[in-house]
Structure 1
């Protein structure tokens, strides 16, 4: 039943933390949304056609003007002339028709000769030869027979005059062969070149020059010339496919017409024409055209930004409500500060965003959380800043400001390094200002602007001011976060390590032996923690305070017993145990009273864990006849719950053991270190922290190397040298 109650308690705690985290993320999303809402909201104007514009209006984004592009494409297509292609097969067709005419004439003669032979067989007397008889047949009759012989697609002979056809019929077969070959050559030569309709007469005139050297009678040449002229026809025709392809190419070569981002659509006082009104509508600046797309896009962007941070915290040890709250609070302050500055009136320049102390957010997050989340947060500031400072052009990004914010944040993180003194933060602010100055110079030159001008000087002034104010604000806000959230930052640790701190002065003046012991433990634990990736600075500062409880009864601890008797010799082992064990709980209580950080208190309380006071336990066993319970001689604990506390516990025992040795050698030191770690491991003192066996081995090596440097062997000077020194 008790287990179920514990489970329910854990569940309720988890549920409450989950609800709080969800609420924080929702609150952060609302801050981001309302900070950028006005910058992405499309500007709606109540404009009337053919009225005068009350102000200059620019395009909020890059827009494709499809209507103008289409008109330009149509104009380009209309400028393309029809494409005419050369049909080479036309020449062959005309040659085939000429050849068909000459073959038809020969067939007509053969047919007539056959008829004459049939007639001659019936008539005994033949006074004329067949050729003469054939010549006496009228040309008209021959043409009629030719019309019946030639196919329908051959029509050229019908255009030839009867006189020309008569000349062909009157010619001998040999002359017709010459005429045919000459005609084929002439037509082929002429029609092998482009002949358009306007050029047909000029092409036909070339027939005479082609036939002037043909060795035939003038009558036959004249008839042949007439036939060849009729055979010459235009061989260039309209090519529909080629024409459409040429027009499509012309259309494709037309560049799309865009309305550029920031392009002036209408100037103040200019009349709003139908074309200007159309462009305003295309840019979404008219009241009759409303859209929710910018708001949906902003919501998606915010969701992505918050998701990246959520999964980062979820997958690391910083997945705590405290760190999430700090992160969201710092980001919200920075973004609200951006928004407030963006609302300031702009005097002769629009880039007032350069004055925003943006590095403040990155510096605070690095100091209070870690470097990686600070780098990731720089992206949020960069993206949000590029939207908030978009110059009043809805839905656009100011990439110059985005680059400036990102560079400024990264510079602050890099220059801050691991040394987090207040003076170092101020130095970081100055260096960030210098980097901002250099970056502004680069941006001004990239825009091809004058490097020496009133506007450029204002940019440079703002960049330097931004860096310095970032440092001042970071220093001013740090105490509020440290106090409000109980954060133990590196800067806070460095402050606590100051020897002038009241508690450290108390240890130094009241227990100088304990102070020296604490400093030695600090050196050992710092190096060991750094070797395993733990917080070395926390280990060092925790070591300074881990034995603060000894200041209550300093003379009961051996390191403070200088030239005096050991008081434990006069009291019982049980009382000695009580005094020794109480220094851990007394120290934790003193640290709480002085409002010391919880991590320091835990180290003081846990550095001995529940280890056994072996010396007094064995002494009690020897002095008592009854059985002595081992549990009565153990520290109250708890056991070490962090790597730092575990390492300090080991270093504390090792330093005390090595210091008690008369002549520590490397072999003895190494043996003592290994035995102490082994005893604590077997005693279960590391069960509640996540230190690994490999890390324990690394800790042992680090402690050995550090102790070797402290207890190194010295040169033994000869006696003669000593005597000479004395004599001198």
Structure 2
């Protein structure tokens, strides 16, 4: 490998300078609290003395306990449904009592008494959480009365009271049968309806009045001494001191020092990013679009972290920082993606409240997301990716809670935030297509889409040049296996293989694989004319690709798959017929030599697949000799001299291609005929 040198293009450094300048203005204006601590561990800093008065804030657990207490003390508000009492008396007056008509006044009096105490639905038992305070408010005509729950009937207790009173006035012997016969239970229905709106408003008002502090800590008092164990009480003091510092105290040094520190940190960030690109994929510096895209991904991450730091702390669980991994993975190889992704997460260490926890959570979930999204990236399966990413985030969060604070495992809101963040990661992925348009890049998703053989251009190839189409499919499969063996870009190779010969659409009969039986297109043409017709499929392919909007990266496959070689058949025929060896330029392709591994793979697979079709004996020795001769021939013709591919990788390609050809051209068993069958 050649020794790497720093890029000489000034635009590389100008872009870094602009990025660093933007970062400086995104940097926090207030420094973070200078001390790290964990409950249960020793205080490893110097003895901390309060430099200012500060309120001692209640913990989340204390606030939750108070909210639960207030919820238990809330007196629910019920509306009195006045027509119920009236309807009950109307129903009573309509009931026929026959010879027991003298009982009606007593029944009316009992019903009036019951409704004067009010009736609740049966689902409000004495132990119901809504009634735990022991009182209710009953509102009517703009006023409300506070009543003990014990004085209010439920439907069941009211009916029991009515039955009991009826027995006393009607006599026990006939009371039950008469009671059921006339349906006196129907006289009792609830006349109280809970008003959720007013009840909830009273609860919210009481919650708002909860004091957030438990006391006050005076200046010059010792908060914690060196070596002391950080207890729950100490942690509460430290948290309160830190929040007061972040909210009201902040930076107390000269403003010039703050700006100087921010500038140094910004330079450090962009320098680390520069080195990551330098060592992982030096060629990115030569591709302005990809280079700027990488810088943009880092800037997006930095900006998101900066904005989130000005909002509530839980927002860091919602913003899908792990989608940056998918944005990178769409255009770059894994070995570069993960390094740049890690660097893109560094701003979290600067801005996030629980910096290490948030950093590790997105580090792990981003890696898992990349791995899973490769397999679950179509349709509803993307939600499988979201679920797995969510589970990963929760597991990391639980791990930190088990180590630091088991009690905070009850914080279900954080889990809901992470679920939303995982869904947003999948929802944000379509932005890839916007980035494609802006930077004119080709994503993996786009390549997979272009590789669909139902695309218009590929259908045209299949219809007009079916032999070439079948050849392209075979080359694609062979190139796929070869690309996987040396970690090349498989989707790119597959798409390149499908489109490399589309120029043959314009003149399919010129090529043997499409020629009709008994038809020889080249009959009557000179070797030079035949060679020109063959060579023309390159320029025709480029024209068709541009017309149908194929990306440049696929057009490069069309131009490079023959490199600068010659049309060997007609070239040799020309010389054998006494042609002038100095006048052979018209037999050479005017393409370019492959510059990438993917282009090398296609050149080799295209040539080898075509050559293998003329073999008569597909023995292992013959296939091995064919592959070796073709690859060595390409090397001798300097067709691979511009490509970033090693001898080791070429040897791997040889073995894979030989193995694949042996499987593709395997021998079949002849089926025996039955005796007597002709």
TM-score w.r.t. length of structure 1: 0.60
Q: Secondary structure at the match of 2:395?
A: helix
Give how far 1:536 is off. 3.2
Equivalent residue for 1:132? none
Q: Cα RMSD over matched residues?
A: 3.7
For the pair 1:722 / 2:673, whether they are aligned, the reply is yes
CA contact (8 A) 2:532 2:586 kept: no
Cα gap change, 1:285/1:726 in structure 2, threshold over 3 Å: closer, same or farther? same
Equivalent residue for 2:443? 489
Cα gap change, 1:495/1:513 in structure 2, threshold over 3 Å: closer, same or farther? same
Aligned match for 1:323, one of 265, 269, 290: 290
CA distance in 2, matches of 1:408, 1:286: 33
Cα gap change, 1:343/1:572 in structure 2, threshold over 3 Å: closer, same or farther? same
Cα gap change, 1:683/1:289 in structure 2, threshold over 3 Å: closer, same or farther? closer
CA distance in 2, matches of 1:704, 1:516: 20
CA contact (8 A) 1:531 1:702 kept: yes
CA distance in 2, matches of 1:601, 1:495: 16
Aligned match for 1:356, one of 313, 319, 333: 319
Structure 1: gaps spanning 5 or more residues: 1-10, 44-60, 70-253, 269-279, 391-396
Question: Which of structures 1 and 2 has the bigger CA Rg?
Answer: 1
Cα gap change, 1:26/1:669 in structure 2, threshold over 3 Å: closer, same or farther? same
Equivalent residue for 2:363? 406
Equivalent residue for 2:79? none
Cα gap change, 1:665/1:329 in structure 2, threshold over 3 Å: closer, same or farther? same
Q: How do 1:131-280 and structure 2 match up within 5 A?
A: 255=226, 262-264=238-240
Q: How do 1:327-342 and structure 2 match up within 5 A?
A: 327-342=294-309
Q: Deviation per CA, 1:461-487, whole angstroms, max 9, x where unpaired?
A: 11011011112112x211122222232
CA distance in 2, matches of 1:612, 1:446: 69
CA contact (8 A) 1:420 1:490 kept: no
For the pair 1:304 / 2:265, whether they are aligned, the reply is no
Aligned match for 1:64, one of 9, 33, 46: 46
CA distance in 2, matches of 1:427, 1:520: 33
Equivalent residue for 1:432? 389
Q: Deviation per CA, 1:479-531, whole angstroms, max 9, x where unpaired?
A: 12222223233222211111112111111121111111111111222222333
For the pair 1:516 / 2:470, whether they are aligned, the reply is yes
Equivalent residue for 2:128? none
Give how far 1:675 is off. 2.0
Equivalent residue for 2:31? 40
Q: Secondary structure at the match of 1:368?
A: coil
Equivalent residue for 1:552? 506
CA contact (8 A) 1:603 1:645 kept: yes
Cα gap change, 1:530/1:618 in structure 2, threshold over 3 Å: closer, same or farther? same
CA contact (8 A) 1:40 1:295 kept: no
Structure 2: gaps spanning 5 or more residues: 35-42, 52-224
For the pair 1:461 / 2:416, whether they are aligned, the reply is yes
For the pair 1:601 / 2:558, whether they are aligned, the reply is no
Give how far 1:550 is off. 0.4
Q: Deviation per CA, 1:521-575, whole angstroms, max 9, x where unpaired?
A: 1122222233334333322221111110000001111111242411112322222
CA distance in 2, matches of 1:342, 1:725: 88
CA contact (8 A) 1:382 1:403 kept: no
Give how far 1:662 is off. 3.0
Cα gap change, 1:666/1:689 in structure 2, threshold over 3 Å: closer, same or farther? same
Equivalent residue for 1:503? 457
Q: Deviation per CA, 1:55-82, whole angstroms, max 9, x where unpaired?
A: xxxxxx997358899xxxxxxxxxxxxx
CA contact (8 A) 1:422 1:491 kept: no
Give how far 1:255 is off. 4.8
Q: Secondary structure at the match of 2:532?
A: helix
TM-score w.r.t. length of structure 2: 0.64
Equivalent residue for 1:541? 495
Q: Deviation per CA, 1:303-360, whole angstroms, max 9, x where unpaired?
A: 333222111212333334333311121222233233334434x4xxx42321111111
CA distance in 2, matches of 1:464, 1:639: 50
Cα gap change, 1:547/1:726 in structure 2, threshold over 3 Å: closer, same or farther? farther
Cα gap change, 1:629/1:308 in structure 2, threshold over 3 Å: closer, same or farther? same
For the pair 1:619 / 2:576, whether they are aligned, the reply is no
Equivalent residue for 1:150? none
CA contact (8 A) 2:608 2:626 kept: yes
CA contact (8 A) 1:518 1:543 kept: yes
CA distance in 1, matches of 2:507, 2:370: 46
Aligned match for 1:695, one of 640, 649, 653: 649
Equivalent residue for 1:171? none
Give how far 1:642 is off. 2.3
Q: Secondary structure at the match of 2:238?
A: coil
For the pair 1:479 / 2:443, whether they are aligned, the reply is no
Give how far 1:444 is off. 4.3
CA distance in 1, matches of 2:392, 2:589: 55
Equivalent residue for 2:625? 671
Q: Secondary structure at the match of 1:569?
A: coil
CA distance in 2, matches of 1:725, 1:309: 79
CA contact (8 A) 2:273 2:343 kept: no
CA distance in 2, matches of 1:441, 1:14: 45
Q: Secondary structure at the match of 2:320?
A: coil
Equivalent residue for 1:200? none
Q: Deviation per CA, 1:592-616, whole angstroms, max 9, x where unpaired?
A: 2222222211111111112222322
CA contact (8 A) 1:42 1:285 kept: no
CA distance in 2, matches of 1:628, 1:32: 62
